[in-house]
């Protein structure tokens, strides 16, 4: 068997090392793809509203739940009494069992017009230059939470 200059310089045993290198490159490519997918999904955390921080998702979900609870209490109060009630009336009549009238800086207000109502959740504006936005949310007798301007 004749030894070629290439085999002496490289110190390899032929095709076995090529297969090992291909396996290593394959593992590296797979790791790079997995890292890319991980980074993409980590950076793209869910937000509940456009322009809000991902950490606000929990607060906004709680605010939406509070709005639904207030609207359900309001519908029940209207069914029993034939008129709309303020937030204080709902709480004092035990139609609403909220432990506090606000959540994470959001305060609630009820506006009545006969048998129709609208419950609004407002937050104080963010500081000037802040990238965080606090949406104003509302619900009415149709039980649909929506953002209002």
Count of structural domains within the chain: 2
* Most confident region among 9-13, 34-38, 46-50 by mean pLDDT: 34-38
Please give the Cα distance from 59 to 129 (Å, whole number): 22
Same domain for 144 and 93? yes
Same domain for 143 and 85? yes
Please give the Cα distance from 75 to 69 (Å, whole number): 10
Average pLDDT over residues 6-31: 76
Q: Could you tell me the pTM of the whole model?
A: 0.66
Same domain for 65 and 133? yes
Q: Is residue 49 part of a domain?
A: no
| Both structure tokens of 72 | 């359900």
Give the DSSP letter of residue 100: -
Q: Is residue 80 part of a domain?
A: yes
Q: How long is the chain?
A: 149
Same domain for 124 and 75? yes
Same domain for 70 and 30? no
Same domain for 78 and 131? yes
Q: Is residue 13 part of a domain?
A: yes
Residue 46 buriedness (CB in 10 A; 0-12 / 13-18 / 19+): exposed
Q: Is residue 24 part of a domain?
A: yes
Query: Looking at per-residue confidence, does 43 or 17 come out higher?
Result: 17
Q: Is residue 50 part of a domain?
A: no
HSE-up of 120 (CA within 13 Å, CB side)? Answer: 12
Q: Is residue 26 part of a domain?
A: yes
Nearest residue to 87 via CA among 112, 60, 109, 118: 109
Average pLDDT over residues 74-99: 90
Same domain for 10 and 76? no
Same domain for 95 and 35? no
The answer, yes or no, to whether residue 86 has pLDDT greater than 70, is: yes
The answer, yes or no, to whether residue 12 has pLDDT greater than 60, is: no
Give residue 78's domain range.
Answer: 56-148
Nearest residue to 112 via CA among 89, 130, 146, 144: 89
């Amino acid at each position: 068997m004749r030894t070629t200059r290439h085999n002496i310089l490289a110190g390899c045993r032929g095709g076995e090392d090529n297969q090992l290198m291909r396996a290593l490159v394959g593992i590296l490519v797979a790791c790079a793809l997995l890292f890319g997918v991980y980074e993409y999904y980590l950076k793209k955390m869910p937000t509940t509203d456009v322009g809000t921080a991902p950490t606000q998702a929990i607060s906004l979900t709680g605010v939406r739940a509070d709005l639904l609870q207030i609207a359900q209490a309001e519908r029940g109060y209207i069914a029993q009494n034939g008129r709309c009630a303020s937030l204080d009336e709902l709480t004092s009549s035990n139609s609403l069992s909220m432990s506090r009238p606000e959540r994470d800086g959001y305060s609630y207000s009820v506006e009545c017009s006969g048998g129709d109502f609208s419950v609004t959740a407002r937050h104080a504006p963010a500081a000037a230059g802040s990238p965080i936005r606090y949406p104003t949310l509302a619900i009415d007798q149709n039980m649909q939470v929506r953002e209002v301007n």
